[in-house]
Structure 1
Amino acid sequence: MELRHLRYFLAVAHEQNFTAAANLMCVSQPALSKQIKDLEEEIGTPLFIRGSKIVQLTDAGLFLKQRAEDILELSNRTLTELKADEAEITGEINVVCGEIEGVSFVAQAIKKMNRRYPKVKFNMTTGDEETVRYQLDKGIADFGMFVDLTVLPNYKCISVPIASPWGVMTWKGNRLAKKKFATPKDLLNMPLILSRQMRNNNTLATWLGYSTDKLNVVGTNDMLYNASKLTEAEVASVITIDGIINTRGTKLCFVPFKPLFPIKVAVAWKKNRIATKACEKFLEILREMEQKPISRGFFTKSP
């Protein structure tokens, strides 16, 4: 299997048509069809369901599509890094993270990086914990952000100073909206939306003092914006971190937990991975920011 085979395969997968893919890749349609047929014979399974006008991916094709995109991304990044001028800091840095207030810490580091090394570009990807782990482990991302994880055996990390509390985002007509704080007892029997990560770990259960199975969880979410729309429709309240969704001027409000539900956020990178010069410089900035006290009200709530 060669990289060109993967490029041809992805062209067909994206265009869903051999003729259109051949035009895109500047090859003849018979030549492209033969390349795909050879690839299927090498793998030992069909990659496409061929129709009269369009083709669709088989299960094996869907799996290969994800892997092929990762492989070509790594190949392109490797070539870019190898061609970089040794005397100049250039290249790309890939960061993957969830929707968390701690992203502001990374944003400030990127700002400093842009001032010092303007030829370095950043690519940001949003995803849940599973996505962060996958991209770090596969070398797709250089840095990732984790929430409420104290044990990261496969990674090195820097703690992110944030002061945003956990709590409940709800609508202003909800009974909970009239309270200053939300307690574990308040959450019983209340329709709730949780992140998949929170549903699958014990962090919330430790704060509640009882199993999350006792909660009335009507759904899970990966992206908070979509969950906020369900809350606006008064479907359910969302357990989340303050500051991610701006509730000012909306029918939504945020009620913090009591007792305080501490949050720990870390910027992590894979152990024993050879870092590019751009990544080394970015890491230096992250460590500078970790060691210096925050002089601005960047991570603190105004009274």
Structure 2
Amino acid sequence: MELRHLRYFLAVAHEQNFTAAANLMCVSQPALSKQIKDLEEEIGKPLFIRGSKIVQLTDAGLFLKQRAEDILELSNRTLTELKADEAEITGEINVVCGEIEGVSFVAQAIKKMNRRYPKVKFNMTTGDEETVRYQLDKGIADFGMFVDLTVLPNYESISVPIASPWGVMTWKGNRLAKKKFATPKDLLNMPLILSRQMRNNNTLATWLGYSTDKLNVVGTNDMLYNASKLTEAEVASVITIDGIINTRGTKLCFVPFKPLFPIKVAVAWKKNRIATKACEKFLEILREMEQKPISRGFFTKSP
């Protein structure tokens, strides 16, 4: 299996048509079809369900599509890093993180990086904990941001304490909206949406004092924006961090937890990975910022 096979395969997967993919790749349609056939023979499975006008991916094709995108991304990054001028700080830095207020910490670091090394470019990806881990482990991302993880055995990390509290985002007509705080008792029997990460660990249960199985969880979410639309429709309230969704001028409101539910955020990177010069300089900036609070109260200095 060669990189060109993967490029041809992805072209067909994206265009859903061999002729259109051949035009995109500037090759003849028979030549492209032969490349795909050779790839299927090597794998031993069909990658496409061939129709009269469009083709669709098989299960094996869907799996290969994700892996092929990762492989080509790493290939392109490797070439870029090898070609970088040794005397000049250039290149790209990939950062993956969730929808959290702590992203402001990374934004401030990127601002400093741009001022010192303007030829370095940043690629930002949004995803849940599973996405962050996957991209760090595969080398797709250089840095990732985790929420409420105290054990990071495979990563080095910098703690980013932030001021935003955990709580419930709900609609203003909900009984909870009339309260100043939400307690563990308030959440019982209330239709709720949780992040997949929170559903799968014990962080929330520790604060509640009882198992999350006792909650009326009607769904889970990866991206808060979509969950907020369900809350606007009065389907369920969302357990989240304050400040991610701007509720001003909307039918939504945020009710913080009581007792306080502290949030822990970490910027992490893979242990024992050979870093580019650009990543080394960015890490220096992150460590500088770890030593003192940044503006506007995004995080405070660790005791």
TM-score for the superposition, normalised by structure 1: 0.98
CA distance in structure 2 between the partners assigned to 1:300 and 1:164 by the alignment: 11
Instruction: Give the structure 1 partner of residue 244 of structure 2.
Output: 244
- With over 3 angstroms needed to count, the CA separation of the structure-2 counterparts of 1:295 and 1:48, relative to structure 1, is closer
Shift of 1:294: 3.7
- With over 3 angstroms needed to count, the CA separation of the structure-2 counterparts of 1:232 and 1:296, relative to structure 1, is closer
CA distance in structure 1 between the partners assigned to 2:29 and 2:264 by the alignment: 54
CA distance in structure 2 between the partners assigned to 1:160 and 1:298 by the alignment: 9
Q: Deviations over 1:203-239 (max 9, x none)?
A: 0000000000100111111100011111111111100
Residue pair 2:102, 2:298 contacting (<8 A) in 1 also:
no
- With over 3 angstroms needed to count, the CA separation of the structure-2 counterparts of 1:24 and 1:42, relative to structure 1, is same
Residue pair 2:193, 2:217 contacting (<8 A) in 1 also:
yes
Shift of 1:124: 0.4
Instruction: Give the structure 1 partner of residue 93 of structure 2.
Output: 93
Shift of 1:17: 0.7
Residue pair 1:81, 1:276 contacting (<8 A) in 2 also:
yes
Q: Aligned with 1:230: secondary structure?
A: helix
Q: Deviations over 1:262-298 (max 9, x none)?
A: 1100000000100000000000000000012445434
Q: Deviations over 1:108-147 (max 9, x none)?
A: 0000000000000000000000000000000000000000
- With over 3 angstroms needed to count, the CA separation of the structure-2 counterparts of 1:295 and 1:47, relative to structure 1, is closer
Residue pair 1:17, 1:54 contacting (<8 A) in 2 also:
yes
Residue pair 1:163, 1:301 contacting (<8 A) in 2 also:
no
Aligned positions, number: 303
- With over 3 angstroms needed to count, the CA separation of the structure-2 counterparts of 1:290 and 1:201, relative to structure 1, is same
Shift of 1:161: 2.4
Residue pair 1:93, 1:122 contacting (<8 A) in 2 also:
yes
Shift of 1:300: 7.5
Q: Aligned with 1:296: secondary structure?
A: helix
- With over 3 angstroms needed to count, the CA separation of the structure-2 counterparts of 1:294 and 1:32, relative to structure 1, is closer
- With over 3 angstroms needed to count, the CA separation of the structure-2 counterparts of 1:90 and 1:301, relative to structure 1, is closer
Residue pair 1:93, 1:121 contacting (<8 A) in 2 also:
yes
- With over 3 angstroms needed to count, the CA separation of the structure-2 counterparts of 1:65 and 1:250, relative to structure 1, is same
Q: Aligned with 1:300: secondary structure?
A: coil
Poorly superposed stretches of 4+, deviation over 6 Å: 300-303
Q: Aligned with 2:38: secondary structure?
A: helix
CA distance in structure 2 between the partners assigned to 1:259 and 1:298 by the alignment: 21
Q: Aligned with 2:297: secondary structure?
A: coil
Following superposition of structure 1 onto structure 2, how do residues 1-303 of structure 1 map, counting pairs within 5 Å? 1-294=1-294, 296-299=296-299
Q: Aligned with 1:167: secondary structure?
A: strand
- With over 3 angstroms needed to count, the CA separation of the structure-2 counterparts of 1:295 and 1:2, relative to structure 1, is closer
Q: Aligned with 2:296: secondary structure?
A: coil
CA distance in structure 2 between the partners assigned to 1:301 and 1:172 by the alignment: 35
Residue pair 1:170, 1:254 contacting (<8 A) in 2 also:
yes
CA distance in structure 2 between the partners assigned to 1:48 and 1:223 by the alignment: 31
Shift of 1:148: 0.3
CA distance in structure 2 between the partners assigned to 1:236 and 1:35 by the alignment: 50
Q: Aligned with 1:150: secondary structure?
A: coil
Shift of 1:299: 3.7
Residue pair 1:164, 1:301 contacting (<8 A) in 2 also:
no
